[in-house]
Structure 1
Amino acid sequence: MDWLERAATLRQWTKGGARAPHKPLLLLYALSRFQEDADGELFYSAVEEDLKRLLAEYGPPNKTTPAYPFHHLVSDGVWEVRTAHGPGSPGSAVRDLRAAGAAGRLTPELRAAMRREPSLLGRMVRVLLDQHFPPSLHGELCEAIGLELEPAETDGLSPARRRRGRRMRELVLTAYEYQCAFCGYDGRIGTVPVGLEAAHVRWWAFGGPDDVDNRLCLCSLHHKLFDKGVLGIGDGHHILVSQHFVGRSPAAREHVIALAGRPLIGPQPGVHPVATRHRSWHTDQVFHGATRPAANLPRSRSRGGSGSRPQVSPRTPTG
């Protein structure tokens, strides 16, 4: 039985690139608990709050319930549910799972396979992370779930993985003149840029192309906040800041809240800015909550040169 293939092909509701990481998050959580107790059961009433938190932090902006994956993951052959009345889930309603004392765990076949081949767990985790989340969140998500993996455990082949363009990072950083499109940070050690990353707008895991019009040059901080849905890109290529973000320190106000409403620092003339279809996907599937009003702060970046060039509207490429 190919457990990696099963992890890669979980049955999910998908339409128009919508994110549905409910089953992957539950399976990652179950793999973590397997590390603690290989035969332990997860009672829905005991893990409901953990799963709610994971869905709120790493799921799409729309409200959802952990009862859905707890019930439906059974159909993928990696998860089983039982109640005091015997095997089988009582349904996908929260009240039914609670009232029946429903408990779930990985199937006996999968547990046996991971005992025979300990590295299987790490390889399944890698497949789930690659399929459903951007690389900037992988380490944090493992920590949040409690997964402890050795580097060798995550090596191995993931089914049908797309290959990224090796030169794309350099092309993106060059297009944005080696500065963060949100804050203008442009640090280097000698001639080598540090803390700058080529971020996908529409995630690679959800069909986002490896093209400049789906990429941004971002500093490490703003890349993480962009992938967590704290930051986004609105109409007119202005920066969105989620009202869900709370920061009282001067640093939080300066580096995050004060960005609200500011124009994105655009790419060089002649380079495609972020395409509307990718920007809209990020707003619908990643950005969390209502947007903060534009900050009542001076918008001058006082950096001079090309670093202060805002992108007010998409440019038409000239070459």
Structure 2
Amino acid sequence: MDWLERTAKLRQWTRSGTRAPHKPLLLLYALGRFQQGADDELRYSAVEEDLKRLLSEYGPPNKTTPAYPFHHLASDGVWEVRTDRGPGSPGSGVRELRAAGAAGRLAPDLRTALRREPSLLGRMARVLLDLNFPPSLHDELCEVVGLEPEQAETAEVSAVRRRRDPRMRELVLTAYEYRCAFCGYDGRIGAVPVGLEAAHVRWWAFGGPDDVDNGLCLCSLHHKLFDKGVLGVGDGHRILVSQRFVGHSPAAHEHVIALAGRTLVGPQPGIRSIAPTHRAWHASQVFHGDPRPATAA
């Protein structure tokens, strides 16, 4: 059985690039628990809060429940659910899962394969990360679910053979003249830029092209906040700051909150700015909450 192909082809609700990482997040969580030696069943009532936090932090902006993937992941052959009455899930409702004492775990054949070939776990994790999340979040997600990131090896499966354009970073940084589009940071060590990255507006994992009009030159901090949905880009290429972000220090105000309403820095004349379709995707699929009002200069 090809577990990498099965992992890559988890059935997820999808329409026009809508994000639905519910199953991948649950499977990453289960792999992390397995790697830590927790081979026992995961009782829904015991892990519900953990899964809620994962969906809140790394899922789509719309509210959702972990009961959905807990029930439906079993149909993909990598997960099983039992209740106090025996095998099988009682349904996808929170109350049903709680009342029945539902518990889930990796499918028996998969557990056997992971014990026989420990490196398989890392390759499965890499597929889940590559197909559902931007690289800026990979290490953080591994840490949150308890996976050892060094074991997340590159996996060669048909679903992830789409190759990135190695020129993307240089093209985007040049377009924005090696300055963060949010704060203007342009640090260098000698002639080498440091702390500047090319961010995809529409994530590569969701069909985002390696084109300049789908890119932003961002410093490491603002790239991370952009991919976490704290920052966004609104009409007139003005910076959005989510009301969900809270920071009371002068640094938090200066580097994040004070950005609300500012216009992007760049790109240089003659180069396409962010395409409206990519900006709209980020606003609907990544940016969390309502934007803060623009701050006074």
How does the TM-score come out when normalised to structure 2? 0.98
- The amino acid across from 1:93 in the alignment is G
Once the two structures are TM-superposed, the CA of residue 38 in structure 1 deviates from its matched residue by 5.2
Deviating 4+ runs (over 3 angstroms): none
Once the two structures are TM-superposed, the CA of residue 144 in structure 1 deviates from its matched residue by 0.9
User: 2:230 touches 2:244 (CA, 8 Å); kept in 1?
Assistant: yes
Q: Show the counterpart of 2:108.
A: 108
Structure 1 CA distance for aligned equivalents of residues 184 and 178 of structure 2 = 9
- 1:15-26 to structure 2, matched below 5 A, reads 15-26=15-26
User: 1:202 touches 1:279 (CA, 8 Å); kept in 2?
Assistant: yes
Structure 2 CA distance for aligned equivalents of residues 220 and 149 of structure 1 = 19
Q: Show the counterpart of 1:313.
A: none
Q: Show the counterpart of 1:119.
A: 119
- The amino acid across from 2:196 in the alignment is L
- Tell me the alpha carbon deviations over residues 235-254 of structure 1, each in whole angstroms, 9 at most, x when there is no partner: 11000000000000000000
In the alignment, structure 1 residue 254 sits paired with structure 2 residue 254: yes
User: 2:33 touches 2:39 (CA, 8 Å); kept in 1?
Assistant: no
Once the two structures are TM-superposed, the CA of residue 155 in structure 1 deviates from its matched residue by 3.4
User: 1:126 touches 1:158 (CA, 8 Å); kept in 2?
Assistant: no
Once the two structures are TM-superposed, the CA of residue 165 in structure 1 deviates from its matched residue by 1.0
User: 2:260 touches 2:293 (CA, 8 Å); kept in 1?
Assistant: yes
Unaligned runs of 5+ in 2: none
- Tell me the alpha carbon deviations over residues 43-81 of structure 1, each in whole angstroms, 9 at most, x when there is no partner: 000000000000000000000000000000000000000
- Tell me the alpha carbon deviations over residues 10-31 of structure 1, each in whole angstroms, 9 at most, x when there is no partner: 0000011000000000000000
* Further displaced range: 236-245 or 154-163: 154-163
User: 1:38 touches 1:111 (CA, 8 Å); kept in 2?
Assistant: no
- 1:104-253 to structure 2, matched below 5 A, reads 104-151=104-151, 153-161=152-160, 162-253=162-253
Once the two structures are TM-superposed, the CA of residue 176 in structure 1 deviates from its matched residue by 0.4
What SS does structure 2 have at the residue aligned with 1:216? Answer: strand
User: 1:123 touches 1:158 (CA, 8 Å); kept in 2?
Assistant: no
Structure 1 CA distance for aligned equivalents of residues 156 and 16 of structure 2 = 28
In the alignment, structure 1 residue 5 sits paired with structure 2 residue 5: yes
- Tell me the alpha carbon deviations over residues 193-212 of structure 1, each in whole angstroms, 9 at most, x when there is no partner: 00000000000000001100
- Tell me the alpha carbon deviations over residues 101-142 of structure 1, each in whole angstroms, 9 at most, x when there is no partner: 000000000000011110000000000000000000000011
Structure 2 CA distance for aligned equivalents of residues 160 and 91 of structure 1 = 30
Structure 2 CA distance for aligned equivalents of residues 54 and 212 of structure 1 = 31
User: 1:232 touches 1:282 (CA, 8 Å); kept in 2?
Assistant: yes
State the superposition RMSD in angstroms: 0.9
Q: Show the counterpart of 1:281.
A: 281
User: 2:90 touches 2:96 (CA, 8 Å); kept in 1?
Assistant: yes
Q: Show the counterpart of 1:311.
A: none
How does the TM-score come out when normalised to structure 1? 0.91
- 1:43-122 to structure 2, matched below 5 A, reads 43-122=43-122
User: 2:61 touches 2:285 (CA, 8 Å); kept in 1?
Assistant: yes
User: 1:29 touches 1:145 (CA, 8 Å); kept in 2?
Assistant: yes
Once the two structures are TM-superposed, the CA of residue 166 in structure 1 deviates from its matched residue by 1.2
Structure 2 CA distance for aligned equivalents of residues 181 and 155 of structure 1 = 31
Structure 2 CA distance for aligned equivalents of residues 150 and 199 of structure 1 = 23
Structure 2 CA distance for aligned equivalents of residues 116 and 231 of structure 1 = 43
Once the two structures are TM-superposed, the CA of residue 167 in structure 1 deviates from its matched residue by 1.3
User: 1:233 touches 1:279 (CA, 8 Å); kept in 2?
Assistant: yes
- The amino acid across from 1:105 in the alignment is R
What SS does structure 2 have at the residue aligned with 1:154? Answer: coil
Unaligned runs of 5+ in 1: 299-319
Structure 1 CA distance for aligned equivalents of residues 231 and 3 of structure 2 = 36
- Tell me the alpha carbon deviations over residues 138-197 of structure 1, each in whole angstroms, 9 at most, x when there is no partner: 00011111112435x523424332111111111110000000000000000111100000
- The amino acid across from 1:159 in the alignment is S
> Identity over aligned residues, as a percent?
79
What SS does structure 1 have at the residue aligned with 2:218? Answer: strand
User: 2:5 touches 2:159 (CA, 8 Å); kept in 1?
Assistant: no
Structure 1 CA distance for aligned equivalents of residues 287 and 8 of structure 2 = 25
What SS does structure 2 have at the residue aligned with 1:264? Answer: coil
What SS does structure 2 have at the residue aligned with 1:160? Answer: helix
